[in-house]
Amino acid sequence: MVEKIRSHGPVDIIILVALIIIVIMVPGAPTAPFEIASGIVLGPIFGSVLNVTAAVLGNALLIWIISKFKISSSSDKNKILGKLENMNNPKMGLSIAYMIPVIPTFLIDYTVDKLGYSLKKFLPYIVIGNIPISILYAVGGDAILEKNYKKIIVLLAIILIILGLFLLFNKLYKQERSEDNE
């Protein structure tokens, strides 16, 4: 059965990449189901490669579109964006934000443009930020297909760690703000 599920050609792979790219560009749309599907369909290694590739292409394209067409957003007053903008190293904060599933990528990409980062110089941060979550989703999809409950538990623990990073990000922001006010 696994072999049948994983017997897909290049057209299927291109369609999956396109779906992930499109979903990345829709504000608030979750990419997780598609990235988990890539793990189910392609396995953990090729699924991870597909996820990273699609995420990098999707975010790069979205940053380009936001920049080219000067898209404004009502999200200018978003608390998360404000925190990212005020960090000592916003690029690293934005890169970490890609790893946190609850932060819409549109907001991250919008902030990249708002802070004036060129796509060429910010591209490594997009790659670094998307690798962990892309691997997590692909390995999770593979674990679901193979009914590997131990792996699923480990992945859920990793998700909790990522959410912990989000809380750490919040704490670091508050510390920076309190140091600035002194």
Question: What is the structure's pLDDT at 150?
Answer: 92
How many whole angstroms separate alpha carbon 46 and alpha carbon 57?
Answer: 16
What is the pLDDT at residue 74? 61
Report which secondary-structure segment, H or E, holds 110: helix 105-114
How far apart are the C-alpha atoms of 180 and 182, rounded to whole Å?
Answer: 6
CB proximity list for 163: less than 8 A, separation 6 or greater = 100, 102
Structure tokens at 158: 């990793």
Whole-number pLDDT of residue 135: 93
The residue ranges of every structural domain in the chain are 2-181
Closest CA to 105 of 164, 20, 170, 46: 20
Measured CA to CA, the distance from residue 19 to residue 38 in angstroms comes to 11
pTM for the whole thing? 0.82
**Exposure class string for 132-169: b at 16+ Cβ within 10 A, else e:** bbbbbbbbbbbbbbeeeeebeeebeebbeebeeebeeb
User: How do the pLDDT tens digits run along the chain, 182 residues long?
Assistant: 567 667 778 888 999 999 999 999 998 899 999 999 999 999 999 999 999 999 999 999 999 999 998 877 665 566 767 777 777 888 988 998 898 888 889 889 988 998 999 999 999 999 999 999 999 999 999 999 999 999 989 888 888 887 787 778 777 767 766 777 76
